[in-house]
Amino acid sequence: MLAGTSNNKLVVEVKEMTTRFGDKLVHDRINLNVCRGEILAIVGGSGSGKSTLLREMVMLQKPTSGSVRVLGEDATGLADAPALALRRRIGVLFQYGALFGGLTVLQNVAAPLREHTQLSHALIDEIAMMKLRLTGLSPDTGALFPSQLSGGMRKRAALSRAIALDPELLFLDEPTSGLDPVTADALDELVLQLKASLGLTIVIVTHDIDSLWRVADRAVLLGDSCILAAGTVAEIVQSKDSRIISFFQGPRGRAARGIV
Partner 1 sequence: MTCGVFLHSLPKDRRQTLAKVSLEADVLRGSGEWTVFHLHAVEQSLSNLSWPGTGTVQIDMHDVSALDTAGAWLLHRTAFQLTQTGLSVFIKGLSPKAQTLYEYVSRRGGVPGQLPKAVRPGPIERIGRSGIEELNKNIGLLAFIGETAATAAPLLLSPLRVRWQMVLRELGEAGYKALPIVGMLAFLLGVVIAYQGGDQLRLYGANIFIADLVGLSMLRELAPLIAAIIVAGRTGSAYTAQIGTMKVTDEIDALRTMAITPIEWLVIPKLIALVIALPLLTVYADIMGIFGGMVMANVMLGLSMPTFLDRLVEAVSLQSYLTGLGKAPVFAIIIAMVGCFQGFQVAGSAESVGRQTTISVVQSIFWVIVIDALFSVAFSQLGL
| Residues forming the site for partner 1 (CB under 8 A) | 1, 3, 71, 88-89, 101-102, 104, 106, 113, 116-120, 123, 125-127, 129-131, 133-134, 139-143, 145-147, 163, 165-168, 197-199
Residue (of 172, 169, 156) closest to 94 by Cα position: 172
Q: Which residues pair with 222 in a beta bridge?
A: 44, 227
- Least Cβ distance, residue 209 to partner 1 (angstroms): 28
Identity of the residue, 36 or 257, whose beta carbon is nearer to partner 1 in the bound complex: 36
**Burial of 25 per CB tally in 10 Å (0-12, 13-18, 19+):** middle
- Least Cβ distance, residue 9 to partner 1 (angstroms): 14
Identity of the residue, 83 or 130, whose beta carbon is nearer to partner 1 in the bound complex: 130
Identity of the residue, 106 or 222, whose beta carbon is nearer to partner 1 in the bound complex: 106
Which long-range CB contacts under 8 A does 125-129 form with residues at least 24 apart? 127/164, 128/160, 128/164
Q: CA torsion, points 67, 70, 71, 72, in degrees to nearest 10?
A: -10
What distance lies between CA 10 and its chain's CA centroid?
A: 16
- Least Cβ distance, residue 44 to partner 1 (angstroms): 26
**Angle, helices 105-116/121-134, rounded to nearest 10 degrees:** 130
- Least Cβ distance, residue 259 to partner 1 (angstroms): 36
What distance lies between CA 216 and its chain's CA centroid?
A: 12
Identity of the residue, 8 or 65, whose beta carbon is nearer to partner 1 in the bound complex: 8
Identity of the residue, 68 or 105, whose beta carbon is nearer to partner 1 in the bound complex: 105
Q: What SS3 state is found at 258?
A: coil
- Least Cβ distance, residue 133 to partner 1 (angstroms): 5
Secondary structure element (H or E) that encloses residue 208, with its range: none
* Per-residue burial over 63-91, b = 16 or more CB atoms within 10 Å of its CB, e = otherwise: beebebbbbbbbbbebeeeeeeebbeebb
Identity of the residue, 14 or 165, whose beta carbon is nearer to partner 1 in the bound complex: 165
CA separation, residue 148 to residues 110, 131, 152, 177 (Å): 18, 19, 12, 19
- Least Cβ distance, residue 204 to partner 1 (angstroms): 19
- Least Cβ distance, residue 177 to partner 1 (angstroms): 17
Identity of the residue, 157 or 212, whose beta carbon is nearer to partner 1 in the bound complex: 157
CA distance 108 to 158: 8
